[in-house]
Structure 1
C-alpha cells in the first residue's frame, strides 16, 4: 500500500514541476533572451534484495531528472557572428555619414565656387571697387567655411573618441557580469531552474558583447564561458569568475588601438567585427578626411597668396597676402581689409589689367584644383557610405534570418505548450487518483478490521 502511495506522490510532484515549467514557458512567450525549458522525467526503479540486490525489479514512480534548455549552440553562434558583422558595418556607416555632414553642411564647395566666380566678375572690370568688395567678401566666406569644416571634423573625431570609450566601458561591464554568471553557474545544481536562468543570462551577455566586438567562446562541462576578443587567436577577456579590462588608445596621428589587461598581463586587441571595429574604421576615415582637407586648404591659401604677391593692386602697389592661417591649415582668416588691395593686375600692367586674376582663375584645374579635389573627396566618401549601407541591409537580413532560425528551435511555441499543458494536467490528475485510490483501499481494510 505504501508503494502505491509513493508512486502516486512521485507523480504528483513530478508533474507539478512539469506544469510549472510549461507555465513559465507560456508566461515568457516573446520575452527577449528567454529559452524554452523542458522538464526531463525518469522512472524510479526498485531494487531487489538478497541475490537480486543489484537487479531492478520494477518501477516505483517517476522523478524529475532535470530542467533542460532548448538551446542550439551553433545557431546562437550564427546570431552572434551576424550581429558582430552588422554592428561593424552600421557603426562605420554612421561615421562616414558624420564625415559627409561635416564636409557639406558648411557649403565649403559653394563658397570656393563663389570666390572664383567673384574673381571672374572682377576680371571684366578690375577698377570696380564694388566688384572688389564682393570678391573680398567671398574670400571671407570661403575662409570661414574652411574653418567651420575643419572644426566639424575635429568635433566628429572627439565625439568618436567619447563613443568608443563608452563602448569599451560597456564591454567591461558585460565582462564583469559574465564572470559573475560563470560563478553562479558553477554554484548551481546542473539541470536546475536556476542553472537554466543563468544559461539564458550568459547567452544574452555573449550576444551583447558580440555587437561591441567579435568574440570567440568556449564552454566547459558546467556551461561556463571563456571569451576571447578579436577572434579565436585573441587574448582571453573572461575565464570562469575572472574578467579583464579593455582600454581605448589613440596616438597623435589619430590611429586607434585597444588593449586587454587581465591577471597582470596587457595584450593588444585587433577587432575585426562589432562596433569597436567600426569605430576604428571611422577614426581612420576621419583622419584621412582631415588630412585631405588640410592639403586642400594649404594649397588654396598658398596659391592665392603667391598670386597676390606677384601682382599689383588698384593703387599700383605690390599685392599683400589675402589669407592668413592659424594653428591648423583650415584655421583661415582674411588678412586683406581694403578691397583696393586685391592684386588684379600683372607686375607691369595698369589699373585696367586683369592678367593676375587670370592666373588665379587658372588654378581652377579640373583635376588638381581646390574645388575638384573637394568634390572628389565628398564623392568618394558618399560612395563608401552607400556601399556600407547596401552591405548593412544584406547583413541585417542575414542576422534576422539567424535570429529566426535560432528562435524556431529555442523559442516558445504556444501550440506545443498547450499540448504539453494538457498532457501533464492529465498525468497529474491520474497520479492524484492513484493516491486517492490507495487511501480508499487503506480505509476499506481498516474498516474490515
Structure 2
C-alpha cells in the first residue's frame, strides 16, 4: 500500500508541477501577441493486474495527457475576415485623405476665382498697366496651383504605391515563414507544448497575412494550413511547405495590379485592396484635373486669338498646357492680353474681347467644375470614414469575442496557481505519509 501511495503521490506531484509550469507560461505571455491560453489535460494512470473491472477507477495516480490550446477556429476566422476588411478600409481612407489634402491645400479653386476677379477688375480700365499686370499675376498663380496640385497628387500616389509594395513584400515573407511552420507542424507530436507554440505562430502569421490581403484557409488533419487568396476557389498562396510569390505592377496612370505566380489576382480585402482602390480614385482625380486645366487653357486661348492686344496685334495664347502638371503662362507682358475685338485699333478701350475672356471662364464653368471635384473627394472621404468606423466596430466585437475565449485571464491563472500549488503540496504530504507508514511497518517487532 505504501508503495502505491508513493507512486500516486509521485504522479500527482509531477502533474501539478507541469500544470504550474503551464500556468506560469500563461501569465508570462498574457500580453504576447498571438498567444493562446493553454490548459493541462489530466488523465488517470491505468494500473496493470488486479481483479477490478476495466471500467472501474484504478486509483493509480494521474498523468498529463495533453497540453490543451484553448483556440476557437471559427472566432479566429472571423477576426481574420473582419480585420482584413478593416485594413482595407483604413488603407483606402488614408489614401483618399491624402488626395483630399493634396488638392485642397493648393487653393486651386481660390486662384480660379481670383483670375476671374482680375479679369472683371480689368474691365474698369482695360489699358491700365497695373490692372493688366495683376491679371497676369492671377493667371500665373492659377497655373502654378494646378502644377502644385498635380505634383502633390503624384507624391501621394508614390506614397501609396510604396506602401503597397511593402505590403506585397510582407505577404511573401510571411508566406515563406508559414510554409516553414507547416513543415515543422507535420513533424511535431500531437498535444505537445511544441505543437501549441507552432500553432500560435501559425495563427499569428495567418492574421498578419490577412491584414495585407484577404485569404481563405483550410486546416488539415496534421494541423498544417492551406491558404488561398480571396475565397476558397482563389489561387493557392501556401500549401504544405510551398509558398507562391505575389507581385505588383504599376500602370502608366499610377494604378496597380497584382498576380500570384503569373495568375492575375484582384484582392477584395486587406490593405492591398485599399491601396488599389485609393490609387484608382487618384488616377480619376488626376485625369479630371488634367481635363479641367486643358479645357480652361483652350477656352482662354481661343478667346485670346479672337481679339487684339494693347498694341493692336492679334492676340496670342495666354497658356500652354497638356495637363495640370505643365500648364504655364505663354507670356508675362500684360500688354499682350487681348481685351479689344479685332479691328478695334491700338490702345482701344473696347472690352468686347475681354468679355469673351470672362465668358470663357464662366461659360466653361471652370470654378464650378473645380468646386465639384473638391466636393466629390470630400464627400467620398466622409462616406468612407463612416464605413470604416462601422467596420472597426464589427472587427472590435470579433476580437473581443476571441479574447474572451482564448486570451489569458490573470485572475483565473492566479486561482490555478494556488490550486496546483496546493495539489503539489498535498502530493508531497502523501509521500511523507507513505514514508512514515514504511517506517512504522519496518519498526514492528
Normalising to structure 1: TM-score of the pair? Answer: 0.94
SS in structure 2 at match of 1:330: coil
Question: CA shift at 1:54, angstroms?
Answer: 7.5
Please give the alpha-carbon distance, in whole angstroms, between the structure 2 residues aligned to 1:82 and 1:389. 16
- Provide the residue aligned with 1:27 in structure 2: 28
* Structure 2 unaligned regions, length at least 5: none
Match of 2:351 among 335, 351, 354: 354
Please give the alpha-carbon distance, in whole angstroms, between the structure 2 residues aligned to 1:329 and 1:359. 23
Please say if residues 80 and 211 of structure 2, whose CA atoms lie closer than 8 Å, have aligned partners that are also in contact: yes
Please give the alpha-carbon distance, in whole angstroms, between the structure 2 residues aligned to 1:308 and 1:258. 48
Please say if residues 293 and 321 of structure 2, whose CA atoms lie closer than 8 Å, have aligned partners that are also in contact: no
- Provide the residue aligned with 1:272 in structure 2: 268
Question: CA shift at 1:57, angstroms?
Answer: 7.4
Please give the alpha-carbon distance, in whole angstroms, between the structure 1 residues aligned to 2:248 and 2:30. 39
Question: CA shift at 1:55, angstroms?
Answer: 7.7
Question: CA shift at 1:143, angstroms?
Answer: 1.2
Question: CA shift at 1:10, angstroms?
Answer: 0.9
Please give the alpha-carbon distance, in whole angstroms, between the structure 2 residues aligned to 1:435 and 1:259. 66
Please say if residues 82 and 398 of structure 1, whose CA atoms lie closer than 8 Å, have aligned partners that are also in contact: yes
Please give the alpha-carbon distance, in whole angstroms, between the structure 2 residues aligned to 1:161 and 1:313. 47
Cα distance change of structure 1 residues 321 and 364 upon mapping to structure 2, 3 Å threshold? closer
Question: CA shift at 1:25, angstroms?
Answer: 1.6
Please give the alpha-carbon distance, in whole angstroms, between the structure 1 residues aligned to 2:352 and 2:89. 51
Pairing 1:336-347 to 2, within 5 Å after superposition:
336-347=331-342
Question: CA shift at 1:151, angstroms?
Answer: 1.5
Cα distance per residue 1:65-111 (max 9 Å; x no partner): 11011111111111111111111111111111111111122211111
Please give the alpha-carbon distance, in whole angstroms, between the structure 2 residues aligned to 1:447 and 1:135. 120
Question: CA shift at 1:346, angstroms?
Answer: 1.0
Please give the alpha-carbon distance, in whole angstroms, between the structure 1 residues aligned to 2:155 and 2:107. 17
Normalising to structure 2: TM-score of the pair? Answer: 0.95
SS in structure 2 at match of 1:65: strand
Please say if residues 47 and 56 of structure 1, whose CA atoms lie closer than 8 Å, have aligned partners that are also in contact: no
SS in structure 2 at match of 1:168: helix
Cα distance per residue 1:284-326 (max 9 Å; x no partner): 0011001101100110111111111110111111001111236
SS in structure 2 at match of 1:259: strand
Please say if residues 85 and 391 of structure 2, whose CA atoms lie closer than 8 Å, have aligned partners that are also in contact: yes
- Provide the residue aligned with 1:183 in structure 2: 183
- Provide the residue aligned with 1:2 in structure 2: 3
Please give the alpha-carbon distance, in whole angstroms, between the structure 1 residues aligned to 2:138 and 2:3. 103
- Provide the residue aligned with 1:201 in structure 2: 201
Note if 1:363 corresponds to 2:360: yes
Please say if residues 47 and 53 of structure 1, whose CA atoms lie closer than 8 Å, have aligned partners that are also in contact: no
Please give the alpha-carbon distance, in whole angstroms, between the structure 1 residues aligned to 2:275 and 2:75. 27
Please give the alpha-carbon distance, in whole angstroms, between the structure 1 residues aligned to 2:256 and 2:30. 43
Q: Which deviates more, 438-447 or 58-67? A: 438-447
SS in structure 1 at match of 2:40: strand
Match of 2:297 among 294, 297, 301: 301
Please give the alpha-carbon distance, in whole angstroms, between the structure 2 residues aligned to 1:68 and 1:23. 15
SS in structure 2 at match of 1:221: coil
Number of residue-to-residue matches in the alignment: 442
Please give the alpha-carbon distance, in whole angstroms, between the structure 2 residues aligned to 1:113 and 1:55. 93
Please give the alpha-carbon distance, in whole angstroms, between the structure 2 residues aligned to 1:196 and 1:308. 78
